Each structure stands twice: as C-alpha cells, then as structure tokens.
Structure 1
Amino acid sequence: MSAPWKVRRRRRQQQCQQQQGDLVTGGDINTTLTFGVEADVLVHPSHSNTPVMCHPPYDASRVDITLSEFIARLDDVIRKDGIPNNVRLIVKLDFKNVEAVRPSLDIINAHSLHAQRNVEVWLNADILLGPGHPQKSRNPTVPPHEFISLCTSALPTCTLSLGWTHGEGTPLGYTPHMAQEIVAVTNTLKQHVTLAASAMHLYATPTSTRNELLRHFSQQDETTRGRRTLTLWGPAPFLVRRWFRRLPRDTTYVDVAAASWKAEFAAWYIALWRLLGYHDVRLL
C-alpha cells in the first residue's frame, strides 16, 4: 500500500512548512487545505478482476489489502466523520497496468466515492514514453487512448492525471517530441487534466519546450480555465523548488521530496549554463 501523499493548490495557502518530504500547509480558518491519498494499483496476477494496492513488481508478501477493501474503509471514514468545509480530499489511483483500470472504476462507482462532498477522484497513468529510457524501449504498459476511453466513459467527472514513464538514465528533461505528444493526447479532452511531470525533469527541459508545456497546462486562457493544471512530483533540488514557486499558484500542485546531492549538482549545472545564455542545454 502506498504511503499517503499531501498535495496543495498553491493559491489558497499563506504559510507552509516542509515535513518528511511533503509540503504541508497551514493558515487561517478561511484557508482551503488540499490533502491527498495515493494508491498504486495493479491487477492481481492470479485474479484478473482483483485490483490490489501494489507497486510493480508484484510481491505477494507485500500485498496486504485489495483496492476494494481500501476504498470501502475510506468510504466508511468519510461517511462517518465527514470532511470539514475547508478541506478538500483527493483520492488518486496510480495505475501500473491497464488490466487494473476497468475493475477499479467499477469499485469506485459502487461506492459513489466521486460523489462525496469535497472529494475528488484522480486517475493517473504513465501513458507515454518519457526520458531516461533506451531508444528502443518498449511502450508504456498503459496505452493512452484505451486508458482515457475507459476513464471518461466510467467516470466522466474525474480528473485525468497523465504523464510519461521515467527511466533511470540520461539525458534529463522532456524533448519537444514528448511535449508535442502529451499536448496532442490531451488537447481535445473536456474534463480536468493535470499534467503529472517530474519536477526535476521539467526544470531540466529546454526552455522553449518547457514554456510550451506551461502554456498548455499552467497558463490558462478562457478555453482551458479550470480544466488544465500541473502536478509536480519527485525529488526536487533547491533550485527546482525556487523555480516552481514562481509558477501560477491557482494551477500548480506540488508533491515533492528531498533530492540527492547528484540531483542538486545537476540543477546547479543546468542553471549555470542558462545563466551563460544556453537555455536549450540538456544534461547528458
């Protein structure tokens, strides 16, 4: 079972403190706090209709709860205790294979979780091939059009959290092709879509490509207002955190952790080259 994560919509907070890699917000009584709980979901290898809380690779010794049990417990707590008016709860399901999507959506609908007051359901998947992979790497395990079709037909009011797969190799940053792909996939969608982007990779993306992504998902116009946001996740060096604090506060969600010394060095290296005028440099 995944550890709970806390995510904030930055416009509504006046103070924040960092605790165990999560951004926790505080403020006056009129501040709306946004919290989230994330579940990594894949289908049980022996029971095709049983989604379990597990991150690949599947390990039976580490799976102690099914998604159905988790949603039922969460639903009981919400119905019993309620959610304060100034609190917003995001339940985010991170799908690791496409086989888990349909039975998971059936579970959510059975409990009407998305209809609860102050509760949002986010459906996340890595639908496109991202940075850090060999050129001949296999395709993502969650095909984009199948995932989007399943989600929008079963839960038309849900939020789609869409992003790329990420390998451990270099170079850092998203390419123009990656940006064009994600924009093309999401361009015609009518519901709320949040781009799930690695904070470090987005920072390392060449400036022109990064600006294209920010225009589409963060700097909204009349046609996209309320329907496009940005969610930054993963390790975030000091310079990356300083950068994303300048992003639009009403369209940016943050779910980041401390970074290694290598990531800190990489961020300073990229910043140095940009200071010298090389805005499209990539760290190889």
Structure 2
Amino acid sequence: MVCREQLSKNQVKWVFAGITCVSVVVIAAIVLAITLRRPGSELEACSPDADMLDYLLSLGQISRRDALEVTWYHAANSKKAMTAALNSNITVLEADVNVEGLGTANETGVPIMAHPPAIYSDNTLEQWLDAVLGSSQKGIKLDFKNIKAVGPSLDLLRRLTEEGKVRRPIWINADILKGPNMLISTEVNATQFLALVQEKYPKATLSPGWTTFYVSTSPNRTYTQAMVEKMHELVGEVPQRVTFPVRSSMVRVAWPHFSWLLSQSERYSLTLWQAASDPMSVEDLLYVRDNTAVHQVYYDIFEPLLLTDMLELCQGLWQPVSFQMQAMLLGHSTAGAIARLLASSPRATVTVEHNPAGGDYASVRTALLAARAVDRTRVYYRLPQGYHKDLLADVGRN
C-alpha cells in the first residue's frame, strides 16, 4: 500500500538520521516537515481528511483527478455484504451506522452496521473498520441516520486514527436539513452533528445533505435557493472539505442553486446519488458534467441509460468520455457496442467491470475476450484479481 510504503520510507530516514549526529537530525526533520506539508504529497493523500481523488490517484485506482472515475458500493453493512464489497474492485465503500437495539429496552449504545429500520446486525462498526482497514485500500463513507450513533462512532475513529490505523479519507454523512417534498422532519440535528464532528473527529470530509422524497406519479418539488443557502450558512466556516449529496433526479432544475453553492468555496463538491426507483436523465447528468470541473462532482449512480442515448448525448463534448459497462450486460453484442462507443470520439475509452456477486469468470469470459479483441489500448478492465489472471491466461492461449 502506497500510504504504508511511504511511512516505512520515512521511518528509515529517521533511523539513519539518528545514527549520524544531532545537526543532521535537525536538518532532516526540517526537510521532512516541509515534504509532509507539501500539498498533494503521497503521505498527505493518506490522511483521514485527505482529498478522495488525491488518495485514489496515489494508489493508481483512478487515472486522473476526475470524480467520475470513483465507484461506489452501497450498504456494505452485514458481514456477507462487507466481504463482497472488499472482494470487488469498487473504490469507495458506503455503509450505514446505527445503534444496537435503538429505542428498545435492549439499546446498548454500540454502533452497528445497519440501515434503519434495522436495529440489529451481525457486524459492529468496530468489526467493520477492523476488516476494511486491515484488508483493503478502499475509501470509506459512513452514513448516519440517528444522532445517537455519531458520538461513539467518532470516538472509535479517533482512537483508531491515533493508533495509526486510519490512513485513508473518511467521509461522514448525515442529512441535516429538510429537503424537497418532505412533509415531516426526519433529519439529523444539524447543530449537534456538526459540533460532534468538530469536537471528536475533525479530520474527516463532511457530507451533509437534505432529506428528500420522490414520487414518480405526482409533481415533485426540487431544491430551492433557500435550502442551499441555509446549508452554506451551516458549513461555510468549518475547516473540512465538504461534499454535498444531491438527488440526481432533482439536480437539473435546481442547477443554478448548486452552481452558486460550488462557487462559494474551493472546499465544496457535489455527490450526485440515485435511489433505485428514481428515473435518471443522462442528458441532465451530462449537463452537470459539462458545467463543472471534473473534480467537483462525484456520480454515485446506477448504470447509464441506453447505449444509443449515451452516444447521442456525448457527441461533441470537449471532455474525454469514459464509458463504464458491466460485463454481464454486454452479452453477444459486446464487440459492436464497444466499437460504437469508441467510434463516438477519439478521446473515448471503455471500462468493462464485473462484480463476482454477478457470476464467476466463466459467465463473463466471452464478453471479456470480445472486448479485448476490439481494442487493446482504449478498453480497460475493472475485475477481481483472480479474473484478471484468468483473462490474461486466455489471452495468452488465444
């Protein structure tokens, strides 16, 4: 791991300096301090408050500081889901933190991995962090739906950080303001949430959002300027990086408000998210993409719409276009689909990805070999390590 390797190199420098003389130690310390404070250094990218893009770039998990390249695994809560997430090539894990037995006589105060209304789990937050920190390099986003879970969780994170175990960005998420179409208040108390983060674990990226509701059969309101200004009022003076989760089905109509929000601070970014039942307009997403810098907006969304729509909407974009496709969905049309995508622009690339939960290597072998045959320089693969080895072996035989 880059972060651990960098730490080891620095330790060697200190030992060598100690063997020489005091003056050399002083000089080495000054040089090292300057190095560690240099923006963008590898060690800085490995701290809990680091920029997620800098961290993933330092590991080689993304090719440039483009938030579109970041991928997400949702609800990695149970031990089974967590294991599947750890075995995937997803770059950031999202998980939900609740309190064991919340609201019952059995409430323990122990943070567990569960999405409400679930109040029990086979996985505590401590077990989850031990597994994720000990066996992966994935970024972490923790979602809180109840203020009772926040304090104990931040205490645990602080302890693990002081022990040197947290060497990656940590995002702390909670919906702290009432948002579009919400008739009742279900948000986490904003004042308490922000105060707890500043008191217990300020070395994190904040992800404060709005509660939202979407009904496809009735007119839906969207985010208002007042909602956005209230959020900026709450977090405008905090020292942390801030990424605002925004429901993708509502972003286009409210874009003037979010464009204004992004302009208020270089610390700000957006994370567009999509509920499973939400409609998604690729045109809306491309509008956002074309009106922001590539590092300003993360896309936590499901698969793109029809290939034809993607091709039509991506024509003429000045930015490089990176298409991501699931191997299982390519089927017998693999070669034709990939060829059409690459033909849309000389700057287009395709990343074929597969989660082992969707099938073994044999189930996607034909699609992967067909993709390889189309182009060897513009088609990338995001696969489990074992699948990579099998694919390389097949390529060698063929």
* TM-score of Structure 1 vs Structure 2, range by shorter chain: 0.5 to 0.7
2:124 is the counterpart of 1:66:
yes
Determine the structure 2 residue equivalent to 1:42. 98
Residue identity in the other structure for 1:196: P
Alpha-carbon distance in structure 1 between the residues aligned to 2:242 and 2:298 = 12
Aligned-residue RMSD, C-alpha = 3.5
Determine the structure 2 residue equivalent to 1:249. 294
Alignment partner for residue 65 of structure 2, among 7, 12, 20?
12
Q: How does 1:100-119 map to 2 (within 5 A)?
A: 100-112=149-161, 119=168
Deviations 1:158-189 (A, max 9, x none): 10001100123442420222122112112222
Determine the structure 2 residue equivalent to 1:229. 269
Determine the structure 1 residue equivalent to 2:225. 176
Alpha-carbon distance in structure 1 between the residues aligned to 2:149 and 2:72 = 32
Equivalent position SS for 2:117:
coil
Deviations 1:7-62 (A, max 9, x none): 988953599699999xxxxxxxxxxx9921111111112234211111111254xx
Residue identity in the other structure for 2:214: E
2:222 is the counterpart of 1:166:
no
Residue identity in the other structure for 1:111: L
Determine the structure 1 residue equivalent to 2:111. 51
Cα 1:18/1:180, change in 2 over 3 Å: closer
Deviations 1:231-261 (A, max 9, x none): 1111532222222221211222111115899
In structure 2, stretches of 5+ residues that fail to align are: 1-51, 57-61, 75-88, 310-398
2:193 is the counterpart of 1:147:
yes
Alpha-carbon distance in structure 2 between the residues aligned to 1:18 and 1:193 = 18
Deviation beyond 3 Å, 4+ runs, structure 1 = 6-11, 13-21, 113-118, 258-261
> Is the 2:133–2:166 Cα contact (8 Å) retained in structure 1?
no
Residue identity in the other structure for 2:302: A
Alpha-carbon distance in structure 2 between the residues aligned to 1:133 and 1:193 = 23
Alpha-carbon distance in structure 2 between the residues aligned to 1:237 and 1:132 = 20
> Is the 1:133–1:168 Cα contact (8 Å) retained in structure 2?
no
Cα 1:41/1:114, change in 2 over 3 Å: farther
Residue identity in the other structure for 1:243: Y
In structure 1, stretches of 5+ residues that fail to align are: 1-5, 22-32, 84-88, 265-284
> Is the 1:173–1:203 Cα contact (8 Å) retained in structure 2?
no
Shift of 1:77: 1.5
2:239 is the counterpart of 1:200:
no
Equivalent position SS for 1:92:
strand
Cα 1:18/1:165, change in 2 over 3 Å: closer
Alpha-carbon distance in structure 2 between the residues aligned to 1:17 and 1:129 = 28
Shift of 1:75: 2.2
Q: Which structure ranks higher in relative contact order (CA pairs < 8 Å, sequence separation ≥ 6)?
A: 1
Determine the structure 2 residue equivalent to 1:157. 203
Deviations 1:49-107 (A, max 9, x none): 211111111254xx2211111011122225xxxx4xxxxx4211100100000111112
> Is the 1:56–1:96 Cα contact (8 Å) retained in structure 2?
yes
> Is the 2:142–2:172 Cα contact (8 Å) retained in structure 1?
yes
> Is the 1:193–1:229 Cα contact (8 Å) retained in structure 2?
yes
Identity of aligned residues (%): 27
Alpha-carbon distance in structure 2 between the residues aligned to 1:252 and 1:183 = 17
Equivalent position SS for 1:106:
helix
Shift of 1:110: 2.2
> Is the 1:173–1:201 Cα contact (8 Å) retained in structure 2?
yes
Cα 1:114/1:91, change in 2 over 3 Å: farther
Cα 1:17/1:37, change in 2 over 3 Å: closer
Alpha-carbon distance in structure 2 between the residues aligned to 1:73 and 1:238 = 36
> Is the 2:71–2:92 Cα contact (8 Å) retained in structure 1?
no
Shift of 1:228: 1.4
Structure with the largest fraction of strand: 1
Alpha-carbon distance in structure 1 between the residues aligned to 2:108 and 2:127 = 16
> Is the 2:67–2:297 Cα contact (8 Å) retained in structure 1?
no
